[in-house]
Amino acid sequence: MDDWKANARAFWTLATPGTIWLVIFFLIPLGYLLALSFSEKAVIDGQVSVNDYTYFTGIANYLRSLNPDIISIFIRTLWWSALATAACLLIGYPIAFLICFLPERSRPLALLMIVLPFWINLLIRTYALKSVMGTRGVINTVIGWVGIGPIDMLGTTPAVIFGLVYVFLPFMILPLYSTIERLDKSYLEASLDLGATQFQTFRKVTLPLTMPGIITGVILVFIPCLGMFLISDELGGTTSWMIGNVIQAQFGASNDWPFGSALSFVLMLLTIIVLVLQWAYQRKSKGVGAG
Amino acid sequence: MAEPIVSVRNVSRRYPGGVTAVDNVSVDIMQNEFFALLGPSGCGKTTLLRMISGLDTPSEGHIFIGGEDMAFTPPNKRPTNMVFQSYAVFPHMTVADNVAYGLKVTGVAADEIKRRVGEALEQVKLSHLADRKPDQMSGGQRQRVALARALVKRPKVLLLDEPLSALDAKLRDDMRLELTRLQQEVGITFIIVTHDQDEALSMATRIAVMEKGAIRQLATPAELYEQPTSRFVADFIGKVNLFEADVVSQKGKAVICNAKGLGKMNLTSDKACGAKVTIAVRPEKLKLARVAPKAEGLVKTEAKVRDVGYFGDWSEVVADMPNGQPVSVNVQNDKRDGNTGLKRGDKVWITWAPSDSLVLTE
Amino acid sequence: MAQQLKPGTGPLEFGNRRWLQSLFAATIFVLYLPILVLIAFSFNEQNRGGVWKGFTLENYPKAWNNQSIFDAMVNSLTIAVITTLVATVIGTMVAVMMWRFRFPMKPAYEAAMGLPIVIPEICMGVALLLFFNASGIMNFFSHLIWPLNLSTIIIAHIAFCFPFVAIVVRSRLVGFNKQLEEASRDLGANEWQTFTQVLVPYMKPGIIAGALLAFTLSLDDFVITFFTSGPETVTFPVKIYSMVKTGVKYEVNAASTVLIIITIVATVLAMKLQSPEKAGH
């Protein structure tokens, strides 16, 4: 690796486009978001303006986000994201494990089958899920044949959680597969040889050594879940709002952009806290390799 | 006659697709032996070792360990322990925790664990590294952790998979002595798997030479070297010169052969020889001379030197017979100038006593 | 004595465990059922409602002829193509720069490059919406003719796609044997020649994989597009969103099926291109 000064011309040529894009179309907009979060709608001639703002009026928007309704939505969002992540982990780990122990030639195919839905448009998948779960959807039609139902599945909390798991499961399986695959199987053999049961081997050897993959998978599911609004919008009802829905509403019907900005920033803060926790954990321990 | 500690009876391992890794093998291994499974890669030696350990099971057959058929017993329930080729020392545990692992998972009391781990580390001279993590240790040190970890369990049989292959030359010599000392000190049966005949010859009390899933010969190192019973074993162990010969006649043990390029030879063989045999002679049994030897009864041939390989205390001279067959002769460099004085193109005479030849029927 | 092993199997052969196999099968079933139903219903004779009437292909030409669906598809594809081209170039340049050079504050720069990937999409979408509005960019572009009126979306897509491309290309570069570069230099090539004739060919599988990744990310994106599209610019995912709200016709299924096929082809291509890498290109 060379020092940048060794070839300054090449360095600047390569660095400039990406850096400009990042600064102008990412960092500056974020800066503006931050600025707006400390601002309010301008009051002109006694009327609250629709499009003008008075900037840097204070932390009123952040204080508003501390009100109990909003806090409860934040908590609900964190809780549902945690549930969805846990479900993805409980289902995803055994599946990743299984794929790793399939014969060499079957593995790419099995992986492809799991990952393919992930590559299909989120909207399409959500719409497909919605139509299957609807009162006249496939599920209710089938159980109708045995005389049950119809069950009202949409608009409920389980529907949203199921939707989250449905969408994010492949995100969990991929990093898990990658880590488990790289695990030297002779560690497991050594453990059994030394007298441990399968369960002991899993708890004392497999789990600690695959922890980096678990952490990566958890991050890849938990963080996007936090910002989700589509799933709760389509599959849930008005009682199933996540923080994403609240933010979206501020930029839509409620038309309160400063408040929406503040909420977005709180969400980003939550995200960064989670990432910092992960980074701190990684520095403390060593697993099968850095992920 | 003592009972064998491990008795393999008619064990086969077949895979879907028609591959047979181990083909109807039977072998008895006695207590306190240092036993070696030797052979080229793919001969089934590692598969057999793994079946003894429980990490693999036979398609059919019995494996008696300590008198009990354990062919299908899970590995954690067998009185065997293995030292893996990659050592498989747990990277997320310290040396002491690694060695204690096997005791912890089987519910041994904490103070006894501490005592036995201390003893085991003493035995492999790693007490000073008890709190180290494996990634901060050398390959040789990790191997000793693996050894201590297995030995602390006091298994009836210790299995070692290619124990010296990952070590450099100097370390290999040290480890070879270490392992032999350890085996005698601890007094348990060692079974090693190796493709390196030096390893097997120098450490083992008995060796089973395997090829293509079957045992070709089971004998002590000296017997294998001096009395191989097949071309394969003669060629695999040490260097050997092989000559094709037609059998002229056989009366009991006396066999008269006509070897290509060597003429008539009177040899002995314990087996019925059939029409063709291979005559094997070790290179150190041959003598080189500049002039035709006058002694009677010796096998002799002229040859032209093709190459001289210098190895310090000895040299290997490869010379071609008139019919083109190369012959390899080991010459001690016992002269003051340590040199055979031979060079490419020189004409020499090679002689040996017929009794130094072996008749191989397979 | 605890359970015995079966002849011819080892204790670690989890591929044979029944419960694992069942879990896998059940998961695949649940994952694919809704999608298969969606595709199946694209052939439904009846236009809407949940009941199957009969098999027909007419939803496909209907979708093709439905102006708003067609426009939305074209928009999505156009945006994806332009985004891919620009993001791939920018991302590759960033990857080479990061791989090649040390510079002050490099960890901070890397973290900043990773931000578009880790922060929730809604935050980025919202921030861009504000920015485009306040700076007048939104106003400026939305009055222009097609395809320039898509510019806000394109700019946004490039912003979140190129870091992904950078990661993919960078991981490909990790395997590059520096000695190849030195050999090229030793044989007399200059900087530019070495770059184009040694480095770029090596990076090719990574660049292509990154480009395909950018393509699918852009094609499928909803959240960021939702916030950065102007009043008259609708992409396909956004179109589905509004149609789902107003009542779906099975033409949407037909168009969705087409999009699924495009996505699958692109993905399989990307995976095929990743494997020659392992064979030690």
Residues in chain A with CB shorter than 8 Å from the CB of C12 are 101, 185, 188-189, 192
Write out residues 147-206 of A within 8 Å (CB-CB) of C: 166, 169, 185, 188-189, 192, 198
Confidence tier at C50 by pLDDT (50, 70, 90): low
Q: What is the 3-state secondary structure (H, E, C) of B13-62?
A: EEECCCEEEEEEEEEEECCCCEEEEECCCCCCHHHHHHHHHCCCCCCEEE
B102 touches chain A (CB under 8 A): yes
Q: Which residues contact C277 (CB under 8 A, 6 or more apart)?
A: C172, C175, C205, C206
The string of pLDDT tens digits covering residues C154-170 is 999 999 999 999 988 88
Structure tokens at B297: 């009864």
Name which of C30, C101, C156 is nearest A11 (Cβ-Cβ): C101
Q: If you average pLDDT over each of B187-196, B286-295, C251-260, which comes out highest?
A: B187-196
Residues in chain C with CB shorter than 8 Å from the CB of A10 are 100, 191
Write out residues 9-68 of C within 8 Å (CB-CB) of B: 9-12
Q: Indicate the residue type of A49.
A: S
Name which of A195, A208, A286 is nearest B106 (Cβ-Cβ): A195
Q: Which of B19, B84, B145, B161 to mutate to test the interface with A (most CBs of A within 10 A)?
A: B84
pLDDT of residue A45: 66
Question: Which whole number is the average pLDDT over A46-70?
Answer: 77
Structure tokens at B25: 């093998």
A113 touches chain C (CB under 8 A): yes
Pairs of residues, one from chain B and one from chain C, whose beta carbons lie less than 8 Å apart: 37
**How far is it between the farthest Cα atoms of chain A?**
83
Residue A11, Cα to own-chain centre: how many angstroms?
A: 35
- Nearest CA distance, A193 vs chain B (angstrom): 5
Question: Which whole number is the average pLDDT over A54-72?
Answer: 83
Distance of alpha carbon C252 from alpha carbon C48, whole angstroms? 10
Q: Mean pLDDT of all residues in chain B?
A: 91
Structure tokens at C276: 């020659």
Write out residues 188-217 of C within 8 Å (CB-CB) of B: none
Residues in chain B with CB shorter than 8 Å from the CB of A209 are 90-92
Distance of alpha carbon B8 from alpha carbon B35, whole angstroms? 13
| Pairing relationship of beta strands B314-320 and B299-310 according to DSSP bridges | antiparallel
Q: Enter the DSSP assignment of B349.
A: E
pLDDT above 90: residue C59: no
pLDDT above 60: residue C82: yes
Q: Mean pLDDT of all residues in chain C?
A: 82
Q: If you average pLDDT over each of A57-61, B147-151, C267-271, which comes out highest?
A: B147-151
The string of pLDDT tens digits covering residues A212-249 is 889 888 988 999 999 888 888 888 877 888 899 999 88
B81 touches chain A (CB under 8 A): yes
Backbone Cα Rg of chain A: 24
Residues in chain B with CB shorter than 8 Å from the CB of A289 are none
Domain boundaries along the sequence of chain A = 65-284
Short-list B211, B278, B274, B197, CA closest to B239: B197
Question: Which whole number is the average pLDDT over A190-207?
Answer: 94
pLDDT of residue A44: 67
Q: What is the 3-state secondary structure (H, E, C) of chain A?
A: CEEHHHHHHHHHHHHHHHHHHHHHHHHHHHHHHHHHHCCEEEEECCEEEEEEEECCCCCHHHHHCCCHHHHHHHHHHHHHHHHHHHHHHHHHHHHHHHHHCCCHHHHHHHHHHHHHHHHCCHHHHHHHHHHHHCCCCHHHHHHHHCCCCCCCCCCCHHHHHHHHHHHHHHHHHHHHHHHHHHCCHHHHHHHHHCCCCHHHHHHHHHHHHHHHHHHHHHHHHHHHHHHCCHHHHHHCCHHHCCHHHHHHHHCCCCCCHHHHHHHHHHHHHHHHHHHHHHHHHHHHCCCCCCC
* Cβ <8 Å between B57 and C7: yes
Q: Mean pLDDT of all residues in chain A?
A: 85
Nearest CA in chain B to A210: B92
CB B275 within 8 A of CB B318: no
The string of pLDDT tens digits covering residues B126-168 is 999 999 999 889 989 999 999 999 999 999 999 999 999 888 8
Label residue C89 exposed, middle or buried (CB < 10 Å: 0-12, 13-18, 19+).
Answer: middle
Name which of B57, B59, B77 is nearest C2 (Cβ-Cβ): B77
Q: Which residues contact B31 (CB under 8 A, 6 or more apart)?
A: B2, B4, B5, B189
pLDDT of residue B1: 57
B74 touches chain C (CB under 8 A): yes
Write out residues 65-94 of A within 8 Å (CB-CB) of C: 91, 94
CB B195 within 8 A of CB B41: yes
Confidence tier at A290 by pLDDT (50, 70, 90): very low
CB B105 within 8 A of CB A196: yes
Residues in chain A with CB shorter than 8 Å from the CB of C185 are none
The dihedral through the CA atoms of A256, A258, A259, A262 has a sign that is positive
A206 touches chain B (CB under 8 A): no
Helix C250-278 with A107-119: angle, nearest 10 deg? 140
Q: Which of B50, B73, B82 to mutate to test the interface with A (most CBs of A within 10 A)?
A: B82
Residues in chain B with CB shorter than 8 Å from the CB of A205 are 90
pLDDT above 90: residue B7: yes
* Cβ <8 Å between C35 and A128: yes
pLDDT of residue A291: 34
- Judged by DSSP in three states, C118 sits in helix
- Integer distance in angstroms from the first to the last C-alpha of chain B? 31
B131-135, B137-141, B229-233, B263-267: segment of lowest average pLDDT: B263-267
Concatenate the DSSP letters of all residues of B193-206 into one string: EES-HHHHHHH-SE
Interface ipTM: 0.85
Short-list B242, B240, B259, B243, CA closest to B316: B240
pLDDT of residue A286: 52
Q: Indicate the residue type of B95.
A: V
Instruction: Report which of residues B252 and B76 the model is more confident about.
Output: B76
B92 touches chain A (CB under 8 A): yes
Q: Which residues contact B207 (CB under 8 A, 6 or more apart)?
A: B35, B36, B37, B38, B200, B201, B218, B219, B220, B221, B224
Residues in chain C with CB shorter than 8 Å from the CB of B59 are 7-8
- Sheet-wide strand order for B68-69: B19-29, B6-15, B60-65, B68-69
Structure tokens at B52: 């003894």
Structure tokens at C8: 């011819």
CB B60 within 8 A of CB B12: yes
Domains and CATH numbers, chain B: 6-231 (3.40.50.300), 239-360 (2.40.50.140)
Instruction: Report which of residues C277 and C136 the model is more confident about.
Output: C136
C7 touches chain B (CB under 8 A): yes
Name which of A6, A36, A122 is nearest C130 (Cβ-Cβ): A36
Structure tokens at B305: 């030197």
Nearest CA in chain C to A226: C120
Residues in chain C with CB shorter than 8 Å from the CB of A26 are 115-116, 124, 127, 159
Distance of alpha carbon A18 from alpha carbon A20, whole angstroms? 6
pLDDT above 60: residue C281: no
Residue C261, Cα to own-chain centre: how many angstroms?
A: 14
Q: Which of B73, B105, B156, B158 to mutate to test the interface with A (most CBs of A within 10 A)?
A: B105
Residues in chain A with CB shorter than 8 Å from the CB of B82 are 189-190, 193
For C41, the enclosing helix (H) or strand (E) is: helix C18-41
Nearest 5°: the CA angle A264, A227, C234 is 90
Backbone Cα Rg of chain C: 24
Name which of C33, C122, C127 is nearest A32 (Cβ-Cβ): C127
Pairs of residues, one from chain A and one from chain B, whose beta carbons lie less than 8 Å apart: 67
* Cβ <8 Å between C241 and A123: yes
Distance of alpha carbon B335 from alpha carbon A111, whole angstroms? 69
Q: b/e for B63-73, b at 16 or more Cβ within 10 A?
A: bbbbeeebbbb
CB B305 within 8 A of CB B346: yes
Phi, psi of C67 (to 5 degrees): -55, -45
Say whether domain A65-284 belongs to CATH 1.10.3720.10.
yes
Chains meeting C at 3+ CB pairs closer than 8 A?
A, B
| Paired residues of B241 in beta bridges | B281
pLDDT above 90: residue B11: yes
Name which of A194, A209, A288 is nearest B102 (Cβ-Cβ): A194
pLDDT of residue A49: 67
B13 touches chain C (CB under 8 A): yes
The string of pLDDT tens digits covering residues B174-217 is 999 999 998 998 889 999 999 999 899 999 999 999 999 999 99
Please report, to the nearest 10 degrees, the dihedral formed by the alpha carbons of residues B229, B231, B237, B241 taken in order: 120
Distance of alpha carbon B40 from alpha carbon B211, whole angstroms? 7
Name which of B55, B58, B74 is nearest C2 (Cβ-Cβ): B74
Distance of alpha carbon A268 from alpha carbon A273, whole angstroms? 9
Short-list A264, A167, A183, CA closest to A221: A167
Nearest CA in chain C to B56: C10
Domains and CATH numbers, chain C: 67-278 (1.10.3720.10)
C-alpha distances out from residue B321 to B183, B282, B297, B360, C27, Å: 47, 16, 19, 21, 72
Confidence tier at C277 by pLDDT (50, 70, 90): very low
Backbone Cα Rg of chain B: 25
Nearest 5°: the CA angle A221, A259, A81 is 15
Name which of A194, A204, A286 is nearest B149 (Cβ-Cβ): A194
CB A114 within 8 A of CB A173: yes
The string of pLDDT tens digits covering residues A268-283 is 999 999 888 888 887 7
Structure tokens at A104: 């060499």
Q: Which residues contact B58 (CB under 8 A, 6 or more apart)?
A: B11, B12, B13, B22, B51, B71, C7, C8
Lookup result for tokens 């306190």: B32
Short-list B167, B224, B178, CA closest to B38: B224
Nearest CA in chain A to B93: A205
Cis bond before residue C61 (omega within 30° of 0): no
Structure tokens at C254: 């037909």
pLDDT above 60: residue A287: no
Pairs of residues, one from chain A and one from chain C, whose beta carbons lie less than 8 Å apart: 245
* Cβ <8 Å between B84 and A209: no
pLDDT of residue C208: 84
Q: Enter the DSSP assignment of C55.
A: B
Confidence tier at C15 by pLDDT (50, 70, 90): confident
Structure tokens at B179: 């392992």
* Cβ <8 Å between B76 and A197: yes
The string of pLDDT tens digits covering residues B302-360 is 899 999 888 888 889 999 998 888 999 998 888 776 677 788 888 999 999 888 888 88
Structure tokens at A122: 């989120």
Write out residues 123-152 of B within 8 Å (CB-CB) of A: 135, 146, 149-150
A236 touches chain C (CB under 8 A): no
Question: Which whole number is the average pLDDT over B222-233?
Answer: 92
Nearest CA in chain C to B62: C7
C-alpha distances out from residue A244 to A73, A156, B133, B274, C26, Å: 10, 17, 45, 89, 31
Distance of alpha carbon A238 from alpha carbon C173, whole angstroms? 48
C-alpha distances out from residue B113 to B99, B101, B102, B104, B109, Å: 9, 9, 10, 7, 6
The string of pLDDT tens digits covering residues C84-106 is 999 999 999 999 888 888 888 88
- Nearest CA distance, C240 vs chain A (angstrom): 7
